[in-house]
Amino acid sequence: MDHAQNSADTPDTQSQLSKPLLITSWILQIALAFILGQTLFFKLTGAPETIALFEVVGAEPMGRFATAIAELVCVVLLLIPKTSVLGAIGSVGVISGAIMAHITKLGISIDPVALAKPEIAPLEGPSLFVMAVIVFVGGLVIIAIRRAQIPIIGPKLAK
């Protein structure tokens, strides 16, 4: 089978989506890119609150930088139509680590006093956990909508 025949067999999944699904996917992709982009900015600039969080989980500074790079890749992939499902898969993976950190070390609602980290007082409360859950669920929804775009297994899932 030649390349032209092979590409003719793979439908353009962007045009295969209904308009409501396409709009939903793009709203979620932009929202996830915004949330991840915002948190990646704090990681790369070394915000004291972010450093304190990564110290609590024992991953400062390498974990912070690795997470920021992973988030940057996810943001770029989410904003490119042909790679958006890969960005969603990566986002779910990256944010799973954040959710586990909240469940095991940070708490759902961050308590700077309990963590002995007064520098994270501006992050007090469940807002970071809530954003992580939004990214996780949003990523899963994008994956479900764009499942036909998943490399190798996508065409089988689209049936």
- Is the model more confident about 103 or about 17? 103
Taking residues 28-41, report their average pLDDT.
96
**What's the whole-model pTM score?**
0.86
Torsion-angle region of residue 107: left (phi > 0), alpha (psi -120 to 50) or beta? Answer: left
Tokens linked to 97: 């680590």
Rounded-to-integer distance, Cα 151 and Cα 128, Å: 31
pLDDT tens for each residue of 64-104: 999 999 999 999 999 999 999 999 999 999 999 999 999 99
d(CA 96, CA 87): 14
CA distances from 39 to 12, 17, 145 (A): 33, 30, 25
* pLDDT, position 12: 53
Q: Where does the pLDDT of residue 4 fall: very low under 50, low under 70, confident under 90, or very high at 90 and above?
A: very low
- In the numeric block, the tokens 């669920």 are attached to 137
Instruction: Give me the pLDDT at residue 14, please.
Output: 58
Q: Tell me, what's the pLDDT at 83?
A: 97
- pLDDT bucket at 119, cuts 50 / 70 / 90: confident
Q: Which long-range contacts (CB under 8 A, 24 or more apart) does 40-47 make?
A: 40/67, 40/68, 40/71, 40/72, 40/75, 43/67, 43/68, 43/71, 44/68
CA dist 96 → 56, 89, 135 (Å): 17, 11, 9
Where along the chain do its domains lie? 18-148
Residue 50 and residue 118: Cα distance in Å, rounded? 12
Residue 15's pLDDT band, with cuts at 50, 70 and 90, is low
Lowest mean pLDDT among 1-5, 85-89, 93-97, 139-143: 1-5
pLDDT at 2 over 50: no
Q: What's the average model confidence in pLDDT over 8-31?
A: 79
